[in-house]
Amino acid sequence: MTSDTSDGADVGARRRAGAPRRRHAATLDLFVALVVLAGVGVSWQVRSLTDHLPLLGPSVPTLAVFVVLLVMGEVRTLKWLKLHDGGEVTASWAFAFAILIVPAPTAAVVAMAVASVVGDLSHRKPLQRVAFNAGQTALSLGIAASILVLAGELETLGGDGALGPLWFVAVSVSMVAMFLVNSVLTCVALALHEGTKVLVMLRRGLMLNFMSDVALVALAPIFVVVAARSVLLLPLVVVVALMVHINTRSALASEHEANHDVLTELWNRRAFTSRITAELDDRDPSDRCALVLVDLDDFKDINDRLGHHVGDAVLGEVGARLRALQRTGHVAARLGGDEFAVLVTRVPDDATVTRWAEELRATLAQPFLDSGFPVASAASIGVAFWPDHGRDESALFQAADLAMYSAKKTGDAVHVYKESAAGAGTGRVDLLSELERGLERGELEMWYQPQIELATGRPVAMEALIRWRHPRLGLVMPGEFVPLAEHTELIVPLTEYALDRSLADARVWRERHPDVRVAVNASARNLNDLGFPKTVAAALERHRTAGASLELEITENTVLSHPDKVSAVLGGIEQLGVQLCIDDFGTGYSSLTSLRDLPVGTVKIDRSFVRDLPTDTGDEAIVRSIVDLAHHLGLTTVGEGVDSVAGSQQLLAMGCDLAQGYLIARPMPLESALRWLDRCAVPRARPASERRARPREALPVGPEEGS
In this structure, what are the phi and psi dihedrals at residue 64, rounded to the nearest 5 degrees?
-60, -45
Q: Say whether both 445 and 310 belong to one domain.
A: no
Last residue of a domain, which of 396, 418, 440? 418
Q: Say whether both 38 and 85 belong to one domain.
A: yes
39-53 residue pLDDT tens = 999 989 888 888 888
Q: Say whether both 353 and 439 belong to one domain.
A: no
Q: Say whether both 326 and 447 belong to one domain.
A: no
Question: Does residue 702 fall inside a structural domain?
Answer: no
Mean pLDDT throughout 213-228? 76
- The amino acid occupying position 213 is D
Q: Reduced to 3 states, what is the DSSP secondary structure of residue 172?
A: helix
Q: Say whether both 477 and 616 belong to one domain.
A: yes
Q: Say whether both 464 and 332 belong to one domain.
A: no
258-278 residue pLDDT tens = 778 888 888 888 888 888 888
Q: Tell me, what CATH number does 294's domain have?
A: 3.30.70.270
Q: Say whether both 103 and 238 belong to one domain.
A: yes
The residue range of the domain holding 288 is 269-418
Last residue of a domain, which of 376, 394, 418? 418
Question: Does residue 693 fall inside a structural domain?
Answer: no
- Residue partners of 299: CB distance under 8 A and separation at least 6: 311, 314, 337, 338, 377
Q: Tell me, what CATH number does 573's domain have?
A: 3.20.20.450
Question: Does residue 630 fall inside a structural domain?
Answer: yes
Q: Say whether both 288 and 231 belong to one domain.
A: no
Question: Does residue 459 fall inside a structural domain?
Answer: yes
Torsion of CA 595, 600, 603, 604, to 10 degrees: -120
Quote the pTM value.
0.51
Angle at 310 between CA 305 and CA 315, to 5 degrees: 120
Contact 663, 669 (CB under 8 A): no
Q: Say whether both 414 and 490 belong to one domain.
A: no
Question: Does residue 18 fall inside a structural domain?
Answer: no
Q: Say whether both 386 and 526 belong to one domain.
A: no
What is the Cα–Cα distance from 296 to 317, expressed in whole angstroms? 12
88-126 residue pLDDT tens = 556 678 888 888 888 888 888 998 888 888 888 887 888
Angle at 460 between CA 454 and CA 463, to 5 degrees: 105
Last residue of a domain, which of 204, 230, 259? 259
pLDDT number for residue 116: 85
Q: Say whether both 274 and 254 belong to one domain.
A: no
642-693 residue pLDDT tens = 988 999 999 999 999 999 999 999 999 999 999 999 988 544 444 444 444 3
Question: Does residue 27 fall inside a structural domain?
Answer: no
Q: Say whether both 342 and 250 belong to one domain.
A: no
**pLDDT tops 60 at residue 420:** no
Q: What is the number of structural domains in the chain? A: 3
Question: Does residue 700 fall inside a structural domain?
Answer: no
In this structure, what are the phi and psi dihedrals at residue 462, rounded to the nearest 5 degrees?
-125, 115
Helix (H) or strand (E) holding 446: strand 444-453
526-565 residue pLDDT tens = 888 889 999 999 999 999 999 999 999 987 766 665 667 7
Question: Does residue 102 fall inside a structural domain?
Answer: yes
